[in-house]
Structure 1
Amino acid sequence: MQSDARCGSPLPPLAALAGVLLLILLQLAAHGYAVSPPPGSVKIVGSTYNGDGCPNGSTVIVVSEDAQALTVMFSNFTASTDPPISNQRKQCTVGVKLSYPQGFTFSLGDIILRGYAKLDAGVKGVARTTYYIAGLTGTGKATGPLEGPMDDNFEVPSNFVSPAISQCNTTRDLNINSEVRVVPGRFVPKRSGLITVDSTDLKLTQIFSFSWQAC
């Protein structure tokens, strides 16, 4: 009796498929493709902040459960054209100590700034952010422009140029320097401008995206 012949090759067993998938993942990790730490494994174990844009008790720093974002919320960060002239520029330096699994490096990919601006025509606002990893060379830089006339909440995205990258299997502090500036120009009569917390949650908020790499 002739056996029943079927077209095509027999399906591989489940164990073989799992082995192939594991091999692919290991190859991706070995070549530095983006892989993220497991959810809940990235935590803030220490933080500091200092500057005229972030008085004591005015700043909250959190990391998302999925390890994809770091959020810094300021409740008293305001730059304006009101005298004295020092009010036109406000600044804050944030230091963050992160705990995360070995086998990963990170950089900051981009930033979204949310707040409120009231700028007369011709008045400009600038948000500049830089960051570096303590003890390492390299500084990431991002700039987000605003321009009057405007009187509304805003959301300004920008990308970091030449982002700094952490070392493999070595934890170092992440340091973020943020500056918000209002540039009134040389108008007569003088024109005014204000950049401050938004009207929704009363925060000036920075949302940084993590860019993880296996190492």
Structure 2
Amino acid sequence: MDVRELCGSRVLRVLLVGLALCALGAAPAAAEDAQAALPSDPVTISSITYQGDGCPAGTAGTAIREDLQSAEIIYDQFLVRAGSAVSDSARKSSCRVTLTVQTPTGWSWAASLRQAGYVLAPPNVTARTTVRLGTTGGGSGAPIGTDSFAGPRDEDYLVQYDTEPRRSGGTCGGPSSATFTTEIGFVGNPRPDGVMSVDNSKFAIVGVPC
């Protein structure tokens, strides 16, 4: 074997060994990537519904994300108005959004809500939003957050509310419902014109071991 053949064979062996080592290194990495893609949290959202004078049937769009742990609702007419020609009923509105949460035995859940909208509040007028959370067996629910927007104000807004871990009807595990009731309205002098809307709500559920 001449020098060129010897060098060529050595180079070939080095290349083959290098490829083998790369393959061995890639296999665990691929396995880790596949494992990371699996859901690590067993608590999921299986349905989302809505009702209320601020969100009559057919006036909102809903979606559950692929991770089954987040959902969104986009409103078409969830708003209130203020002004001398506006009736009392038009100065306040509410919408109830219910998530069905699937919770395995040994797990509870916590939730977060992000809401975006628009507020136009003249001087001496305050727009306000309050969110209540009710759960299976827990009644209509207690407030989890309130925000006030005192005029003069003309801007988009974003609020976020987080909850403590909740259980399904007082037990640890099993299907449960999470009902978020958002109430919006104006307080103060109702005569100047004003508008407040909720454009969308984004929900996220996280599993918490009991």
Q: TM-score, normalised by structure 2?
A: 0.67
Out of 116, 119, 134, which is 2:118 matched to?
Answer: 116
Which has more helix, going by share of residues?
2
Q: Runs of 5+ in structure 1 lacking a partner? A: 1-34, 198-203
| Secondary structure in structure 1 of the residue aligned to 2:90 | helix
Identify the residue that residue 25 of structure 1 maps to in structure 2.
none
RMSD, aligned α-carbons = 2.8
Identify the residue that residue 154 of structure 2 maps to in structure 1.
151
Q: Runs of 5+ in structure 2 lacking a partner? A: 1-38
Change (3 A) 1:176 1:182: same
Task: Work out the CA distance in 2 between the residues paired with 1:133 and 1:105.
Answer: 12
The residue correspondences of 1:39-188 to structure 2 (distance < 5 A) are 42-45=44-47, 47-82=48-83, 83-99=86-102, 101-108=104-111, 110-136=112-138, 139=142, 141-160=144-163, 164-166=166-168, 167-183=171-187, 185-186=188-189
- Cα shift readout 1:86-127 (whole Å, capped 9, x = no counterpart): 11100112222233555421122x432201111112211111
| Secondary structure in structure 2 of the residue aligned to 1:173 | strand
Counterpart of 1:124, as a letter, is: T
Contact kept, 8 Å, 1:44 with 1:62, in 2: the verdict is no
Counterpart of 2:134, as a letter, is: Y
User: How many pairs align?
Assistant: 167
Counterpart of 1:98, as a letter, is: V
Contact kept, 8 Å, 1:43 with 1:100, in 2: the verdict is no
Contact kept, 8 Å, 1:78 with 1:195, in 2: the verdict is yes
- Superposition deviation, residue 85 in structure 1: 1.3
> Larger C-alpha radius of gyration, 1 or 2?
2
| Secondary structure in structure 1 of the residue aligned to 2:176 | coil
- Superposition deviation, residue 74 in structure 1: 1.4
Change (3 A) 1:112 1:96: closer
Aligned sequence identity (%): 23
Contact kept, 8 Å, 2:116 with 2:157, in 1: the verdict is yes
Counterpart of 1:143, as a letter, is: T
Q: TM-score, normalised by structure 1?
A: 0.65
Change (3 A) 1:56 1:154: same
Task: Work out the CA distance in 2 between the residues paired with 1:179 and 1:141.
Answer: 12
Out of 190, 207, 210, which is 1:212 matched to?
Answer: 207
- Cα shift readout 1:71-91 (whole Å, capped 9, x = no counterpart): 232111011114111111001
